[in-house]
Amino acid sequence: MNVRNVITFLTLLFLPIVAFADGDATAARVELISANIGLIKLVIFLIGFTLFVAGGYKLILLTEQGGKMAKSVPLVYLIVGAVLMNLTMSIGVFGNTLFKAGDFCFVVSEGAINNACMNTEVSGLTGELKGRIEKLSSGSTAEAFMQNVQIIIGILQIIGFIYFAVGAYGLAQVANGSSKDSGYGKPIITMFASALIVDIPHTAQMAIDTLEKIGINF
């Protein structure tokens, strides 16, 4: 099965949107994404710090009260607190486990598009599509297309970043008995799924490679 015609159709469908994209609007989106990343990191760090302190306090209570508290509760709180305070590094560990992808980075950060972040993977996924746009329109339109792709990836990374934190926090809730979930399975699955979203270029490339192995060629 070949999907080149589908790619061409999507290119023609998307081309007018990219061709009339406003450069100022693109810059504003980049600034907004960067600002949100900074705020989200701060909030998640504070939640992690609170959990870490709470874990230390529960550890003290455990030594004083003995069997009144499960021994795993303080440990889970301390681990989750450390994960949330170092969330970028934690996601990087998941990425290395899933893809051996190296250090994690944000495609959009510090008010600009980070072309060095996963550039090879992004180019590998969109290279043919960019070439088609250049033939149909111009190099500047193709470049605008690439910027829009990177902005979309940046938005997906924020979503994945937040849900990774939600999954980690869910582990603490399960340990404390305040979660609707009866076990650690759902929070762990949430963390793995969100790690796939954060590292979307590698995830997409893996999906494409899998499809090609079963005969669906791009």
Task: Look at residue 5 and tell me whether its pLDDT is greater than 60.
Answer: no
pLDDT of the residue at 147: 77
Q: Of 209 and 195, which is predicted with more confidence?
A: 195
Q: Where are the domains of the chain?
A: 4-10+87-213
Lowest mean pLDDT, pick from 21-30, 79-88, 136-145: 21-30
Q: Model confidence at 102, in pLDDT bands (50, 70, 90)?
A: low
pLDDT of the residue at 80: 92
Alpha-carbon Rg for the chain, nearest whole angstrom, is 21
What integer is the mean pLDDT of 75-95? 87
Task: Look at residues 88, 138, 124 and name the one whose alpha carbon lies nearest to residue 206.
Answer: 124
What integer is the mean pLDDT of 192-216? 73
What integer is the mean pLDDT of 94-123? 70
What integer is the mean pLDDT of 87-98? 77
Task: Look at residue 52 and tell me whether its pLDDT is greater than 90.
Answer: yes
Per-residue pLDDT tens over the stretch 127-182: 666 677 677 666 677 777 777 778 888 888 888 888 898 889 889 888 887 777 77
Lowest mean pLDDT, pick from 34-38, 99-103, 118-122: 99-103
Show the tokens assigned to 189. 């699955």
Distance of alpha carbon 200 from alpha carbon 136, whole angstroms: 27
* Residue ranges in 66-138 assigned as alpha helix (H): 72-85, 87-99, 119-136
Lowest mean pLDDT, pick from 68-72, 123-127, 204-208: 123-127
Show the tokens assigned to 178. 């305040």
pLDDT of the residue at 34: 81
